[in-house]
A and B are shown apart, each in its own frame.
Chain A
Amino acid sequence: MRDNILNVKDLNVWYRDFQALKDVNIDVLSNKVTALIGPSGCGKSTMLRCINRMNDLIPDAKIEGEINFDGENINSNHLDPIYVRSKIGMVFQKPNPFPKSIFDNVAFGLRINGFKGSIEDEVEKSLKKAALWEDVKDRLKDGALELSGGQQQRLCIARTLAVNPQVMLMDEPASALDPIATLAIEELIRELSSEVSIVIVTHNMQQAARISHRTAFFMVDENRCGYMVEEGETNQIFTDPHDERTESYITGRFS
């Protein structure tokens, strides 16, 4: 029996009449990094948005199928999306810290959740996990927007970690960063996977190969509808993919 944190079953997503994602079935393993790769428009970001109810915000979005987390389908109406998002956090492509101090950014989630313990301790712990503590410990009151791009992204990761999520979703988290900051974020993702399960969307196949334990390849059909082609151990996907479509995509012969 594999240790799943998420089980996606027959997931179908429509935006009005347009079907964006078709029949996706995937198990996301605990404490692993799962990379979603595929060409533009293949539904990988849609998939990610489904996992923390981001599609709730889009009128005319219709979701069928199950995304089971902790024994419950997160799409069921009686689950509060705010609760879902505290357990399943999201880090976006462009670092998006609040225009507040470094400290307040990380403390934000704790305060709105009515955290009772020492906020200072939690902020320090989260900043350490995000490998940012040494950079900012002497200037926690400084504005978050004064940090470099790579530091801002690590701050966003710290902000997400502060509420102690079980899953962290990342949508191209390093695409706006320079190569050095990118490698630092990649190292961090790999380290964090020992305590949080990570699902990452990336256009950069080498990045997926470097940081993920498992890789899922998505494609788009003639109606522009996304679907999953195959999912497996990252080593297998990048050295010996089972499906010809995966082979032609990762060897760059996709037309």
Chain B
Amino acid sequence: MPREKFDREINAVSSELLILGGMVDKAIESSLIALKDMDNQLAEDIIYQDDFIDRKQIEIEERCNNLIATQQPMASDLRTLISIIHIAVELERMGDYAEGIAKIAIQMGKEGPLKPLIDIPAMSEISRDMLRKSLDALVNRDLIAARNVLKQDDQVDQLYQRVFQELLGLMTTDVDLIKRATYLLWVAHDLERVADRATNVSERVIYLITGKLES
């Protein structure tokens, strides 16, 4: 193995990416707790922590850029570094959605959610599961697992449609509910986007493994 230092660098930046994934997963989980428990302190904390997520993404991108500039990666090395750059951006954007949910939690204030949260936590669980499974697929170079993540996105889309219809129904029957229903609509929309981003992560993992970009 004549490229031990380079291999160590790739492994190190891959580990940083998994750390970033863990930070984002935690942020999404916390944002749902803040929403449900009307915990403003926790919501403020998520907003504060998002800066660390942003910085981690920049750090990962810079490390990849340096490796590309100095090591002339080829073939699977090149695909790995390009994929890491893309995945880090996807993760950073997922962090922004968690921050968005935290801000909604603060805006809702003491009133809390309009109705008991059922489908929204389910969306969160599936989205976070997709996120974790896509990163596992990255670590294990597991093509089947990556493709399975793409299928899960349909479940999130269906839940989003159901939440959307339900909230729309409430708004049309009682205009006084529009504001609080809109809050939950935003939350559902953010989670639907998280699932889309997790899908993008899996598509990058598929590219890393196969060398083919799928859409």
Where the two chains meet, the residues of A that have a C-beta atom closer than 8 Å to any C-beta of B are 205-206, 209, 238-241, 246-247, 250-255
Contacts and interface: CB of A to CB of B under 8 A. Distances in A.
Interface of B: 1-3, 6, 72-79, 210-212
A253 B74 contact: no
Given A252-B3, A252-B6, A238 B211 contact: no
A82 to B, nearest CB: 41
B72 A206 contact: yes
A106 B122 CA distance: 78
Contacts of A246: 75
A205 B74 contact: yes
B77 A251 contact: yes
A252 B78 contact: no
A255 B79 contact: no
B31 to A, nearest CB: 38
A238 B76 CA distance: 9
Contacts of B211: 239-240
Contacts, number: 39
A253 B79 contact: no
Cβ-closest 3 pairs across A and B: A240-B211, A250-B74, A252-B3
A47 to B, nearest CB: 22
Contacts of B3: 251-253
Contacts of B74: 205, 209, 238-239, 250-252
A240 B75 CA distance: 5
A251 B2 contact: no
Contacts of B73: 251
A253 B78 contact: no
A164 B78 CA distance: 40
Contacts of A205: 72, 74
B46 to A, nearest CB: 39
A45 B74 CA distance: 24
B32 to A, nearest CB: 40
Nearest to B4: A253
A254 B74 CA distance: 13
Contacts of A255: 1-2
B6 A240 contact: no
Given A205-B74, A251-B76, A253-B3, 15 more contacts: A238-B74, A239-B75, A239-B78, A239-B79, A240-B79, A240-B211, A241-B75, A247-B75, A247-B76, A250-B74, A251-B74, A251-B75, A253-B1, A255-B1, A255-B2
Nearest to B211: A240
